[in-house]
A and B are shown apart, each in its own frame.
Chain A
Amino acid sequence: MIKQLEFKKIISSPVILGLFVLFLLFNCFLIYQQSSIRNDMKSLQPIVKETGTLMDEEGRNKLQTSYEKDLTNWNQLSKSKTGDTYQRAVDFYKPELYYSLIESNIYSEKELQNINKLAIKETYVSSIQEIETLYSNLNVMENAEEGIRLFGLKGAAAETVREHYTVLKPRVEELVQNKEHLHLFFHGKMFGTHSFLFKTLFGFMLFQAMILIVLFTAFIVNYEFEHKTSLVAYSTKRGRNLVWDKLLVSIFAGTLVTVTLLAITLFIYFMVFDYSGLWNVPISSGFLIELNNIPFISWWNVTFIQYLFMTCGLVVICQILFVLITFCLSMLIRNSYIVFTLFGVIFLAGLYIPSIMPKDSIMLLYTHFSPFILVMNVKKWWMESGVFTTFKYYEVMTVTGWLVALLLTAWFFIKRFARENI
């Protein structure tokens, strides 16, 4: 009953509710802005239906045959209309030809859509070779050395990075052997879906949930002190054990807010962007590679859907960490505005501290094991993510360590509060 009543305090706060709705609308706006590419993205589903996702010898032949057939059909059409034929579909878009063709309305809307689909198919066909070449020449140790040189790492720090990239090496070999990189997925260079979903959308959702969580945790923990009801509340039978209820309710509400925000936003995202047939594509697919040409090398062979759930799970755990941090701050400072500000300062300090660490110290790497750094790079969770965070269990170690430390700190503050003069 008490927990229900504490929860009611959160959901009856107009600020929390208002912000929640505002954040959801903002996420819808982000998705809407990106939605112009949804039709082009949809071109992949018929291909996958025809050839499957794996572009091994067999899949590649199927795709090549299908592409050639489509190109022949197109050339027959174009020959009958303009007398032109094309070696590649993309040649249709050469500026010197394309604009005059469009202006003269030779092709119907449907035909233009077909050539567009064909050009996209062609991109997939031509990408396979590029991907194979990239992965066959891929040397993660070179990437490590490049990173070490770029960030000026020395001594123990540089050695540790080398060690961890050495651990990654067999995984790359395994990935290639499994042909994880050869599975069709939305073309990263064309659509950048991984960045949009896991960097932009998840990044915003992380911060939105964090803002809500910090606000309502500070609000609920200090509620009695700010409303001058602490003397009445803490002299009741439940007394100071009320803070246990507040902690549990904050964790529950934090989880609920995060899950709801994720569920609604992702539901809308996947309604707009059709991922059918691609849920089980490995996340290390070479097709995900974006304009920076950096491959996504996950530590384990996980599919897109598994990766999505793993990421959602980690987002929820990160938010629980933020609940605990805010709870501890609120037990120290009885003013929710100061707690909110202080949380922001701690967050920024968490991001800043690694930059002041000596470049040859292992501490430089350890300071990256913080939820603040973690949430800044959702796009690279569970995979090779640069010299500072490429540890096989980086995410698990970070959240586990912080979870244990924060639970102990929260327990200490609760015990201290039990003997505190009010």
Chain B
Amino acid sequence: MLIVEDVTKNFGQFNALKNINLEFNNGVYGLLAPNGAGKTTLIKMLTTLLFPTSGSIRYDGEDIIKMDEKYREIIGYLPQEFGYYKNYSPTSYLLYLAALKGIHRKTAVARVEELLKTVALDHVANKKMKKFSGGMIQRVGIAQAMLNDPKILILDEPTAGLDPKERVRFRNLLTNLARDRIVILSTHIVSDVESIANEIIMIKNQEVLYKDTVSNICRKIDGRVYETEVSYEQTEQFRSTYLIFSEKQENGSMYMRFLTEDTSKPEWKMVHPNLEDVFLYIYQDGVLSDDQTA
């Protein structure tokens, strides 16, 4: 079990995270927050790349900093910006990282071959990576994170650059892996985690806002999400009155999905909220300010 206890992280005067308390057991955890909310800071602390200003992170009761290489031996990590050596082939790069992970050469050779098959890169196993697409590089990154068969798999924006087919395959892979390990998946793309995460962690104002199942989180705005048709003339006024989640043009009018505290009107159809609705609701300030900035 991985426990984050009262963790605060400051960078000089800037407070990136405060009093974070989390508990991870086997399963997939979706760390969901907009960019800049502190996801990467938390993840870097979970991988010992950053040290908490206060508080502690413990694995099976032992501080991960004190565990040192004993802890790092059981983690697999894919950073948001996955760097690689363009003149290396996936095989040679993975073998290099396997050496850093303390995997015996003979074991590593077989493991690399197996993983390259898993991420469908076996046909380019010995080709230099300089000609690889973003998606191919990301798959090398996923493979390296799994090299040591980690007990804790930490993935920061892992689906960036993957095409829809690869995303589906990746999600299935994670679901399989999560049966006997902790998988922490940080993303700002709701669909990445909605279907596979056992629990979602949402961070707002440097603190954990929710850590719950998708259905429980969605319940927070249950009974307040509607869909309706609005004529083009009324669109502007409708937008300024309600919190809009999505808009779609259909049959000469606008089809709106929105949230309101008002009493339901006959033309409104109440719908079950999804995770994206909650995400937009929670981070509406950020979304609005982002829009205004844009």
Docked-complex contact B69 and A229, CB < 8 angstroms: no
Please state if A237 and B81 are interface contacts (CB–CB under 8 Å).
Answer: no
Give the size of the chain B interface in residues (CB under 8 angstroms): 31
B50 touches A236 (CB 8 A): no
A421 to B49, Cβ gap below 8 A? yes
Total interface residues on A, CB under 8 Å, equals: 23
Q: Is the Cβ of A230 less than 8 Å from the Cβ of B83?
A: yes
**In the complex, which residue of chain B has the Cβ closest to the Cβ of A245?**
B100
Contact yes or no, B81 A228, CB < 8 A: yes
A237 touches B51 (CB 8 A): no
How many whole Å from B145's CB to the nearest CB in chain A? 8
CB-CB nearest in chain A for B79: A231
Answer yes or no: A233 CB below 8 A from chain B CBs.
Answer: yes
Partner of A242, one of B51, B73, B84, B100: B100
A2 contact set on B, CB distance < 8 A: 99-100
Question: A5 at the A/B interface (Cβ < 8 Å)?
Answer: yes
The distance from the CB of A8 to the nearest CB of chain B, in whole angstroms, is 9
Interfacial residues of chain A within 240-264, with CB under 8 A of chain B in the complex = 241-242
Cβ contacts under 8 Å, A237 to chain B: 69, 72-73, 100-102, 148
Task: From the candidates B47, B85, B99, name the one contacting A1 in the complex (CB within 8 A).
Answer: B99
* Residues 70 to 118 of chain B near chain A (Cβ within 8 Å): 72-73, 75, 77-79, 81-85, 87, 96-97, 99-102, 105
Tell whether, in the assembled complex, residue B83 and residue A232 are in contact, meaning their CB atoms are under 8 Å apart: yes
Assembly CA distance A401 to B141 (angstroms)? 46
A227 CB within 8 Å of chain B: yes
Contact residue among A227, A229, A231 (Cβ-Cβ distance under 8 Å from B49): A231
Query: Contacting B100 at CB < 8 Å: which of A227, A233, A419, A422?
Result: A233
Residues of B within 8 A of A239 (CB): 48, 68-69, 72
Chain A residue contacts of B8, Cβ below 8 A: none
Tell me if A241 and B99 are in contact (CB < 8 A): no
B188 located at the interface, meaning its Cβ lies under 8 Å from any Cβ of chain A in the complex = no
Measured CB to CB, the closest approach of chain A to B92, in angstroms, equals 9
Query: What 0/1 pattern do residues 38 to 69 of B give for CB contact below 8 A with A?
Result: 00000010011111000000000000000011
Residues B50 and A227 in contact, CB atoms below 8 Å apart: no
Q: Please provide the chain A residues from 367 to 422 with a CB less than 8 Å away from any CB of chain B in the complex.
A: 419, 421-422
Known: A227-B83, A239-B72, A422-B50. Contact between A233 and B77, CB under 8 A? no
Interface centre among B82, B96, B141, B144 (most CB of A within 10 A): B96
Say if the beta carbon of A343 comes within 8 Å of chain B: no
Question: A69 contacts the other chain (Cβ, under 8 Å)?
Answer: no
Q: How far apart are the CA atoms of A422 and B50 in the complex, in Å?
A: 6
A419–B51 touching, CB < 8 Å: yes
A3: nearest residue on chain B (CB-CB)? B99
| A234 interfacial contact with B, CB 8 Å | yes
When the two chains form their complex, are residues A1 and B105 in contact, meaning their CB atoms are under 8 A apart? yes
B142 to chain A, nearest CB (A): 12
State A235–B102 Cα separation when bound (angstroms). 12
Residues from 129 to 173 in B contacting A, C-beta threshold 8 Å:
141, 144, 148
Is A169 in the interface zone, CB < 8 Å from B?
A: no
Instruction: Please indicate the chain B residues that have their CB under 8 angstroms from the CB of A88 in the complex.
Output: none
In the assembled complex, the CB of B8 is this many whole angstroms from the nearest CB of chain A, namely 14
* A227, A237, A238, most chain B CB atoms within 10 A: A237
Interface string of A299-322 (1 = CB under 8 A from B): 000000000000000000000000
Contact of B85 with A236 in the complex, beta carbons under 8 Å: no
A239 to B79, CA, bound (A): 15
Given contacts A229-B83, A235-B49, 5 further A-B contacts (CB under 8 A): A12-B87, A227-B85, A229-B84, A235-B47, A421-B49
6 residue pairs from A and B, CB less than 8 Å apart: A231-B83, A232-B141, A237-B69, A237-B100, A238-B69, A239-B72
Q: Which residues of B contact A (CB under 8 A)?
A: 11, 44, 47-51, 68-69, 72-73, 75, 77-79, 81-85, 87, 96-97, 99-102, 105, 141, 144, 148
Give me the 8 closest cross-chain CB pairs, A-B, nearest first.
A228-B83, A229-B83, A236-B100, A231-B79, A237-B102, A235-B47, A237-B73, A422-B49
